[in-house]
Amino acid sequence: MKIGITAATGQLGKLVVESLKQKVASENIVLLVRTPEKASDLGLEAKAFDYSNKESQVEALKGIDTLLLISGSEVGQREAQHANVIASAKEAGVKKIVYTSVLHADTSTLSLAVEHIATEKNLKESGLTYTILRNGWYTENYAGSIGGALAGGAFIGSVGDGKISSAARIDFAEAAATVLATEGHDGKVYELAGDTSYTLTDLAAEISAQTGKTLPYANLPEAEYAKILTSFGLPEFLAQAIASWDVSASKGDLFDDSKTLSALIGRPTTPLAETVKETLASLS
């Protein structure tokens, strides 16, 4: 059985590939990437694949039985891009698609959820066998701000007291690899999140504990937070999006206590403290 992985050289894709190599024969893994040369270090078959180039997708997907469709990175274009891939997969004879969506996509106020819900609907109506992985937030999404927070003297955001049930990217990658390599997942929608939740006040306290420096969490109004992010050099549309995601988190959109992710991967999800420790080590 051939398994194709889109965006296989991306942050999530690479981790999925490494995990999948421990579960299935390497000759059964096909990397679908924009630039095959960049996948040479993975030592697997790689084919050129572009979410926006439908003409070349069918040929690249021929011979693949199961496809991991990792959601594209171009927000605003993903609904159309994913629709192209689903149609191409059907034409090429792919039997099953595993898709990475977002946590509680059907009820979430996250702006990201709109394109995910459209793709889920398209997938369910395609006639193909499917599994939907509704991934929660990666802990790295917030850990990536630790360096700036330490430099600025505070961790800032607009989450308020909202609880975040994040997990490390590797946890979600292992879940995807498990679903790709084992049976019993057809037609299922998995809500995937970390075993424990935290607030950004908790995150700031953890950073303080590990560094010995007092780092408070400063909660800001959405517009003010977006303005500060813009001052850091982020494009205005991205700054506004990030601030809005924080507001969604304040409403509980990144919280889940089902422990479905740890059940799927057969181990506890990576603790917040561990990701903070790894991030601090990378900064030193």
Question: In this predicted model, what pLDDT tens digit does every residue of 24-67 receive, in sequence order?
Answer: 999 999 999 999 988 888 889 999 999 988 888 999 999 999 99
- 141 vs 40, more confident: 141
Q: Whose CA is closest to 71, among 158, 138, 23?
A: 138
Alpha helix (H) residue ranges in 158-221:
169-181, 200-211
Q: How confident is the model over 159-218, as pLDDT tens digits?
A: 999 999 999 999 999 999 999 999 999 999 999 999 999 999 999 999 999 999 999 999
Q: What is the pLDDT of residue 76?
A: 83
Are residues 62 and 89 in contact, defined by beta-carbon separation less than 8 angstroms?
no
Q: Which pTM value belongs to this model?
A: 0.96
pLDDT tens column, 237-254: 999 999 999 999 999 999
Q: Are 48 and 36 in contact (CB under 8 A)?
A: yes
Residue 41's pLDDT is: 86
- Catalogue all structural domains in the chain, each as residue range(s) with its CATH number: 3-135 (3.40.50.720), 138-166+194-256+270-284 (3.90.25.10)
pLDDT score, position 73: 86
The pLDDT of residue 98: 98
